[in-house]
A and B are shown apart, each in its own frame.
Chain A
Amino acid sequence: MIGTISTIMMLAAPILIIATGGMICERSGVTNVGLDGLMSIGACTAAIVHQLMEVAGVGRISLTVALLAAALVSMLISVLHAIASVDLKSDQTISGTGINLLATGITVFVCQRIYGTDRSTEFKMGMVKDGLGFYPTLYIAIVVVVLAWFILYKTPFGMHLRACGEHPAAADSVGINVRRIRYIGVLSSGFLGGLAGGCAVLTQTIQYTNTFVNGRGFIALAAVAFGRWTPLGVTGASLLFGASLALSTISSMTPALKAIPSQVFNIVPYLVTLIALIAFSGRDYAPKAVGIPYEKGSS
């Protein structure tokens, strides 16, 4: 039982982190379809930095450095998305898609340059579980989501950010710099996306391969929509998605669940999200201005 919960938390934590990033980004008025690519870049960076530092023998500090590097590199890539969607008023889904495509190329390219193969060399030891059986990533995720909640709902900056997602023209009219806020929104999703990738790669595997992320950035997007763009909702949705990912792997080993094909567990969260979106369609929970470039003086 403890093992199951631990596995669920291991899988849910990165999703929660990246979904929080996606939530902040969308609340500021920018969709980020590129989360998946950002997570890949983070995972690749973390795996490489950790492996290289492990070989150099710097000790456990390399985990922290790897996570930070992952977050920063991914944030740097998300600048592309910010330029396109905030400054150049482009369709936000396009630059996000571009980042996803770019990520598959760049990560393998870098692995090729460093290791000569399509994947990073295995590192010996990733993160270790604490006394309760949890990885530190769980606590990172909790800190991230609580911090996001506090900033979004308890600080003036958070209110400005939400205003930019709901009605940028109104926000602009009271002197809020919409461009700056949206940049911050996109960059934080980049930062958290990279962090999530790092957290995932350092707990769930021992190397980066280009199939590792496997659409979890899209799962995070679903979690944001399912969680109705609120920290609490997103947390619940991430746990649900984490649990279903865990169940699909655990079910093949548990006699009681063996009769049910693992794919059933895979499908359920997506169907639930879809049904929830339809069921709650009477009220639109999405930020009003999400996905629409803001043009000064146009309305």
Chain B
Amino acid sequence: MVKKLEKKKEKVPFIDWFLSSNGATSVAVVILGFLAGVILLLCIGKSPAGLFKAIGQSMFGKAGKNGSWNFRTVGDTLMFSVPYVLCGLSMAFANRVGLFNIGAEGQYTIGMLAAHIVAVCIPAFPGQWLLCILVALLAGAIWGGIVGFFKAKFKVSEVVATIMLNYVALYLYPLVCLYLLPEATINKSGRTADLAETSLLAKVLFDGSNFNIGFIFMILAVVVFWFIMEKTRLGFGLRATGFNKDAARCSGINDTGNITLAMAISGAFAGMAGAIMLLGSVRYAKILTGQDNYGFMGIAVALVGNSKALGCLLAGYLFGVLKSAYSIMQGMGIPKEVVNIIQGLIVIFISFRSGLGLIRDRRAKVKVRKEAEK
């Protein structure tokens, strides 16, 4: 790798730009992931064209040259990307403050549960869905905030604590649904009674697709993330805490409060994802028996998106496209697991990216030495 770089000495500016640009390396990592997927498909004797046809179908509603237009999939794909983007924002927000929130999964589940309770337990009224989303935000914020508080106050590792709370949330969901809610809200066949009509998110724009106003909330969330992080004093303090906790405290930033707040906001994003997934799909809620995994994928989204608002939006859309392609590929007879493998490899390549930093350091050292010799 190093040898190769030395050969291209004339193009130094580009390499230096590439090595120091997180956006460029993210794109490269995604391309590498797809390349690996294509090679894998070729190895087992399948044509990789199907993979890209499925992706084309999910992005533009048309599979290849001869396929017919079907805009329903475009709306579905956009909707698929909503939980990824929101969970990505959740992870990214914590990440910017120097925390690793592995608990988006639990915050998502709790948000879903909170929205569920509001949707089945109180009498229907117009605009109920908004209350559902707000309560979910709050529930997610509390679920995340607890961890932040423990971390700041008792130095409990947020990774371990969030993993614990993921499981508490996972089992709390059926526990509350099956034993604590009024009898009438339970349907014995693994799902609940129908949610109140007024609590469902209105479907708009794409005929017959799942696309609903939850998408607008996601866009709002992206804007809010960007605004808080980049444009407010609070965001500055949070980022300072992330860079160097001790230095931030010495310059008068309340790091205990910041860590709690950061985890709470982080949890709120995930909680919102839970509410939108619940209210935007079918009339009833399924009683969760396993994790939906959006929280964990959110980690990947945040990493590919470099924990920036726009980055998370794009990366979340990419993962939404892959998810959409996953179900389309099933019908095309292409091994759909390739999609999961591509996602896993993307994250592993992202972790290898820190190696580029080592190369960058070495190049800087060589440069300094050369200049000194002159």
Which one of B48-56, B115-123, B173-181, B194-202 is at the A interface? B173-181
Q: Are B299 and A97 in contact (CB under 8 A)?
A: yes
Tally of contact residues, A, Cβ under 8 A: 50
Q: List 28 A-B contacts (CB under 8 A).
A: A33-B102, A80-B348, A84-B348, A93-B159, A94-B303, A94-B350, A95-B347, A97-B296, A101-B296, A101-B300, A102-B341, A104-B344, A105-B337, A105-B342, A211-B290, A214-B290, A219-B167, A263-B174, A264-B175, A267-B167, A267-B168, A267-B171, A270-B168, A271-B168, A274-B164, A277-B150, A277-B157, A277-B161
A225 close to chain B: CB less than 8 A? yes
**A222 within 8 Å of B (CB atoms):** yes
State A108–B159 Cα separation when bound (angstroms).
27
Q: Taking A31-B159, A261-B178 as contacts, is the C-beta distance between A88 and B358 under 8 angstroms?
A: yes
How far, in whole Å, are A79 and B72 apart by their CA atoms in the complex? 43
Question: Is A6 interfacial (CB 8 A cutoff)?
Answer: no
Query: Cβ of B354 < 8 Å from any Cβ of A?
Result: yes
- Given A89-B358, A273-B164, A84 and B352 touching (CB < 8 A)? yes
Q: Does B163 sit within 8 A of A, measured CB to CB? A: yes
Kindly supply a per-residue 1/0 record for chain A positions 234-246, scoring 1 wherever the CB is within 8 Å of any chain B CB and 0 otherwise.
Answer: 0000000000000
Q: For B154, what are the chain A residues with a Cβ–Cβ distance below 8 Å? A: 277-278, 281
Contact B167 A215 (CB under 8 A): yes
A109 touches B337 (CB 8 A): yes
Using a CB–CB cutoff of 8 Å, the interface residues on chain B facing chain A are 44, 100, 102, 150, 154-157, 159-161, 163-168, 171-172, 174-175, 178-179, 290-291, 296-297, 299-300, 303, 335, 337-348, 350-355, 357-358
Determine if A266 and B300 form an interchain contact, defined as CB atoms under 8 angstroms apart.
no
| Residue A99 is within 8 A (CB to CB) of chain B in the complex | yes
B172 touches A267 (CB 8 A): yes
Q: Mark A74-111, 1 if CB is under 8 A from B, else 0.
A: 00000010011101111101110111111111101100
Q: Is the interface of B mostly helix, strand, loop or mixed?
A: helix
A residues near B297, Cβ cutoff 8 Å:
101
B175 surroundings in chain A (CB, below 8 A): 261, 263-264, 267
With the chains together, A23 CA to B291 CA distance in Å?
A: 25
Partner of B157, one of A83, A87, A98, A286: A286
A284 within 8 A of B: yes
Q: Hey, which chain B residues are within 8 Å of A109, CB to CB?
A: 335, 337-338, 340-341
